[in-house]
Amino acid sequence: MAVWARQGIVTERDIRDFVGDNSFLRGLAYYRRGAVFDTLRRGGTLLARSRGSGKNEYRIELRLDDAGAVEQAHCTCPVGGDGRCKHVAAVLLKWLHSPDVFRDLEDARRVLRRRTKAELIALVDEFLRREPELQLLIEAPRVHVPPKG
């Protein structure tokens, strides 16, 4: 079990205190029906998606401090900007009860270095299909930034 599951947010009461009663109860229903998916962890950051009402899906990001308390939270839903929505509650419940389903996310640079040129081009094509405004980044003047690590 991960250190963050043992410290910080250790009870459903802690989650309720963080998000509030209404968001907790609605988040508990989302958690129980399996609305949380694509659960990832990078250090103390949790990333996940949650199905909302209707066909909406939202992205959730939570940063936990070394003691496991929520340092920062954000959800892309209309009320989740401050991280105190039902989707955040559902992700925290998933983390509390099933921390092992949060897959460790490898550093993106390391992953990209293993890809072939053709794979990288296909990946960029997919990014552009999903987010057409990224085309502006491709056409922007290149700035040399030395690679880290």
Please tell me which residue, 64 or 25, carries the higher pLDDT value.
Answer: 25
C-alpha distances out from residue 102 to 45, 46, 97, Å = 10, 8, 11
Tokens 């925290």: give the residue: 92
Rounded to whole angstroms, the Cα distance separating 135 from 141 reads 12
What is the value of pTM for the model shown? 0.72
Give yes or no for a contact between 48 and 37, defined as CB atoms under 8 angstroms apart: yes
- The candidate with the shortest Cα–Cα distance to 75, out of 85, 90, 63, is 85
User: Using one digit for the tens of pLDDT, what is the confidence trace for 30-68?
Assistant: 999 999 999 999 888 999 999 988 889 999 999 988 877
* Phi-psi category of residue 14: left, alpha or beta, with phi > 0 → left and psi -120 to 50 → alpha: alpha
